[in-house]
Amino acid sequence: MRFTSIFLAALLAGVSGAALAADAEPKLPTSPKQWRAAALRDVEAGYRVTLANHAGAHDPHNPAFLTNLRAAKAHGAALAAQVSDGSGYIAALLGFSNRIHDGHAGVYPSFDAAAVRPAQWPGFVAAWRGDLFVYASEDGAAREGERIVSCDGKPARTLLEQNVFAFLGRIKEDGQWWSQTRNLFIDTGNPFVARPKRCVFELDGRQVERSLAWREAPKSLAPLLRESVAGDALPVGLSEPRKNLFWVAMPTFQPSDEERAAYRAIYEQVRSQRARFLGADAVVVDLRRNQGGSSDWSQQFAKALWGDAELKRRDDARNAGVEVWYRASPGNIAYYQRTREDDLARGETASAQWWAEREAAMRKALAAKSPYAIRKDEEEATEAAPQPAPAPFTRPVYVIVPGNCASACLDAIDYFKLFPNTKLVGAPSSADSTYMEVRIEPLPGGLGRVVVPTKLYVNRPRGNGEFYRPDIPVTSLRWTTATFLEVVERDLAGK
């Protein structure tokens, strides 16, 4: 059982505002001096908490980590020294976080960005499909499908590098271009970037230059931003859009109680109706909107589909030699204890035992003044009794991958790609560092929260920063369920 929780993405396009939802909105500074002091304080605090708890701080396999962390602190402090308002505060934190070069770490605001400055847009949303395009537009600001050639004399790539990737995302991961491009034409008041004024658009070989008319973003923008990355959302569940083609929607691995029940219903249906799945034309696993959580949900599905013993055999072979190192710090231990208690309260006894074992190992390491508790694998201490091997499942499996697939979403692909009948469809994924299992700690000032990964993988087959490329790329602007159904049917017909 592997748990690889992913933090909630920072400031998604600046519209919903809060990077990490707070229980109550904190009291905000009221002067430039106070905002500047808060930014300097929270960059420093984020650095200290990260240094004291991050799984990479003592990692002998990554000697550059501390160098990156110190550089991030210096960069964040330099930005913070220029802050005069809430938008600058947010930008300083994002600048610090970006320079750590770890998508599972950083400091993010606890308050809604709209509380300091409502987001503005020029009337259209951009999307990356191997190039920069207009995804959707209102009031004739642009035309859907137009390629955005340049803005203010800067090519699209340069604009993204300067205005987006300097603060959000990881530029070397192809999937991040798909997931972060939506932020390009959202102005949250970042004082360290210049928003575009005039852009050149191209459609059907004809170019036109237009001035951008920036205005306050409407409520209709938030769903457009989500859809531009991963299309429409289906609830957790198993459906049959046509006879013998099964569609398994997995939009989250951080499920609610209702979604947990839906996942268990999927497993039961796959196991109880195995003969139908063995004769299926295909099974489609839909990961759109999925940004991680617990890898247990995809693991249990893979067991149901391919068989418990077969998945274990292949997974054990893949992970031979893998070690998991847990950073033994008081803060991390307290988090494991709280999570164990929460799982017990929900009746999740297996996962509670998982947390308990690691909590005990970390306490022992801390007492011995060792920075890590080291385990050989992630398996539960006691395994279920062996089950009879079911008939092999060899029918085609298509896995829809969005550009923001990371953390436990990548673990799902790791499981599915153990089997040769699996094809990836859609976009390149994002990537992970080897640092996982995050927790979130509020900073003393109440304005920010630091995200801390508590464990690291050693000898993990999927390397640091390694992402998946699709077997069947889908560059359609609209990532609808109908679009992917057509892609799957076309590939099946080609067989």
Residue 385 pLDDT level (bands cut at 50, 70, 90)? low
197 vs 65, 119, 200, 210, CA distance in Å?
A: 38, 16, 11, 9
Domain containing residue 308? 237-328+361-494
Please indicate, yes or no, whether residues 149 and 277 belong to a single structural domain of this protein: no
Report whether pLDDT(297) > 80: yes
133 vs 40, 201, 405, 469, 475, CA distance in Å?
A: 37, 9, 21, 21, 11
- pLDDT score recorded for residue 19: 40
Look up the CATH number of the domain holding residue 285. 3.90.226.10
Does residue 343 lie within any of the structural domains? no
Mean pLDDT of 244-266: 97
Report whether pLDDT(384) > 70: no
Please indicate, yes or no, whether residues 173 and 85 belong to a single structural domain of this protein: no
Please indicate, yes or no, whether residues 445 and 316 belong to a single structural domain of this protein: yes
Residue 251 CB coordination number (10 Å): 19
Mean pLDDT of 223-241: 95
Report whether pLDDT(16) > 80: no
Residue where a domain stops, chosen among 96, 115, 134: 115
d(CA 101, CA 109): 18
Start-to-end CA distance of the chain, whole Å, equals 36
Number of domains within the chain: 3
**Could you give the maximum distance between any two Cα atoms of the chain, in Å?**
69
Specify whether the CB–CB gap between 284 and 247 falls below 8 A: yes
Q: What is the pLDDT of residues 276-293, one digit of tens each?
A: 999 999 999 999 999 888
Please indicate, yes or no, whether residues 198 and 241 belong to a single structural domain of this protein: no
Q: What is the pLDDT of residues 412-465, one digit of tens each?
A: 999 999 999 999 999 999 999 999 999 999 998 899 999 999 999 999 999 988
Specify whether the CB–CB gap between 82 and 32 falls below 8 A: no
Report whether pLDDT(240) > 80: yes
Mean pLDDT of 331-336: 97
Does residue 351 lie within any of the structural domains? no
Report whether pLDDT(481) > 70: yes
d(CA 269, CA 264): 9
Mean pLDDT of 101-127: 93
Residue 158 CB coordination number (10 Å): 12
Look up the CATH number of the domain holding residue 137. 2.30.42
Please indicate, yes or no, whether residues 245 and 381 belong to a single structural domain of this protein: yes
Please indicate, yes or no, whether residues 64 and 152 belong to a single structural domain of this protein: no
Mean pLDDT of 249-263: 96
Q: What is the pLDDT of residues 349-368, one digit of tens each?
A: 998 999 999 999 999 999 99
Please indicate, yes or no, whether residues 102 and 128 belong to a single structural domain of this protein: no
Contacts of 401 (CB under 8 A, 6+ apart): 287, 413, 424, 425, 426, 427, 428, 429, 468, 470
- pLDDT score recorded for residue 113: 87
Does residue 356 lie within any of the structural domains? no
**Sheet containing strand 245-249, strands side by side:** 237-242, 245-249, 282-286, 397-401, 422-426, 472-473
Please indicate, yes or no, whether residues 215 and 249 belong to a single structural domain of this protein: no
Residue 376 pLDDT level (bands cut at 50, 70, 90)? confident
Q: What is the pLDDT of residues 115-143, one digit of tens each?
A: 899 999 999 999 999 999 999 999 899 99
- pLDDT score recorded for residue 388: 65
Q: What is the pLDDT of residues 21-63, one digit of tens each?
A: 445 678 999 999 999 999 999 999 999 999 999 999 999 999 9
Half-sphere exposure (CA, 13 Å, Cβ side) for 95?
Answer: 29
- pLDDT score recorded for residue 386: 54
d(CA 399, CA 490): 15
d(CA 282, CA 454): 38
Report whether pLDDT(275) > 80: yes
If you average pLDDT over every residue of the chain, what do you get?
A: 92
Report whether pLDDT(7) > 60: no
Residue 246 CB coordination number (10 Å): 24
Token representation of residue 264: 């268990």
- pLDDT score recorded for residue 80: 98
Residue 382 pLDDT level (bands cut at 50, 70, 90)? very low
Cα 194 versus chain centre, distance: 27
Mean pLDDT of 232-243: 96
Please indicate, yes or no, whether residues 219 and 242 belong to a single structural domain of this protein: no
Does residue 255 lie within any of the structural domains? yes
- pLDDT score recorded for residue 267: 98
- pLDDT score recorded for residue 26: 86
Helix, strand, or coil (residue 362):
helix
Mean pLDDT of 341-347: 93
- pLDDT score recorded for residue 233: 87
Please indicate, yes or no, whether residues 242 and 269 belong to a single structural domain of this protein: yes
Please indicate, yes or no, whether residues 69 and 155 belong to a single structural domain of this protein: no
Report whether pLDDT(273) > 70: yes
